[in-house]
Structure 1
Amino acid sequence: MMPELGKYAAAVLSAYGVSLGILALLIFGILRRNTRALAELEAAESQRDG
């Protein structure tokens, strides 16, 4: 299933790990910002409506 990486196994696997970590941080940041923006939008709309 996984190719034999030989002496490069540690470098390749750590690169995969770092890439997945960065991707997870980006997704978490996007979801957090989306939640904050929705809350601000609700507040602005409720102030506008009265």
Structure 2
Amino acid sequence: MSLGPYASFIVTSYLAAAIVVAILIGWIMIDYRSQTERLRELDKSGVTRRSGRSATELR
């Protein structure tokens, strides 16, 4: 398969896109772990979620 005179541009573009996607996936994984740890800490300290209340309790 020949990519012609623009082969280096095409390959570089695909590599850059793959690197960006890999960085985003890593960032999301790290943030997910951080958020779940924060939620565990809040749960241990007794903080409850507002969404846990029913609509009748809000009035």
Fold similarity call, TM over 0.5:
yes
Structure 1 residue 18 corresponds to structure 2 residue 16: yes
- Please identify which structure carries the higher helix content: 1
Structure 1: runs of 5+ lacking an equivalent: none
Q: Which stretches of structure 1, 4 residues or more, deviate above 2 A after TM superposition?
A: none
Structure 1 residue 36 corresponds to structure 2 residue 34: yes
Superposed CA RMSD in Å reads: 1.2
TM-score using structure 2 length: 0.75
Cα deviation 1:1-50 (Å, max 9, x = unaligned): xx31011110000000000000001100000000000000000000107x
Give aligned-pair identity as a percent: 21
